Structure 1
């Protein structure tokens, strides 16, 4: 099981990866949504905003009951979060296998698939 700090670092890597998209790819994936990522095995959640294909303003919540509502909600075990961010886990395959739970509109799911 990964630690809270490792998960936070993985989300930082994801933010850096998204920040490094070229202008053409960023323009194609320009949408703004609030995003939460709950890591149940650690009892922690993260909340931020996807804006212009960037992940910004990520805050962690150890009291998941205080987590603000989000338009895109992910629930993922800590080890799977690290594997997903590091490219060792395919988003769609993990989602269809039930390893990742996603609560989002169908359109947002398609947009997420293009980014990951």
Structure 2
């Protein structure tokens, strides 16, 4: 099972990946939206802001998200680490229920280029 620190490191790596993106990925990452990532196996939620192509202000709180973020991810710590590390493709994780993504239809259309 992935540790809290491994999950935080994965989110920081995701932020670096988004900041280095180009083209359509850069445009999609330029959203200004609140984001939460609930890790069901660890019983905690990371929250932050997707802005200017980076995840900023990443904090962790126990339990499910206290407030409804614009973009909400639900997964396990192991799957988060695998997704960011590139060993678990997003479409596979989503199609098999290992990752749940909730966002507005408009945000989903923009985010699809990240997938």
TM-score of the superposed pair, with normalisation by structure 1: 0.86
- List aligned pairs for 1:1-116, cutoff 5 A: 1-22=1-22, 24-25=23-24, 28-29=27-28, 30-64=30-64, 67-116=66-115
Partners of 2:25 and 2:75 lie apart in 1 by 25
Partners of 2:78 and 2:63 lie apart in 1 by 20
State the aligned residue count.
114
- What do the CA deviations read for 1:46-104 (whole angstroms, capped 9, x no partner)? 00111122111111112436x33201111001110001001111112211211111111
Q: Match of 1:98, SS?
A: coil
The runs of 4+ residues in structure 1 deviating greater than 4 Å are none
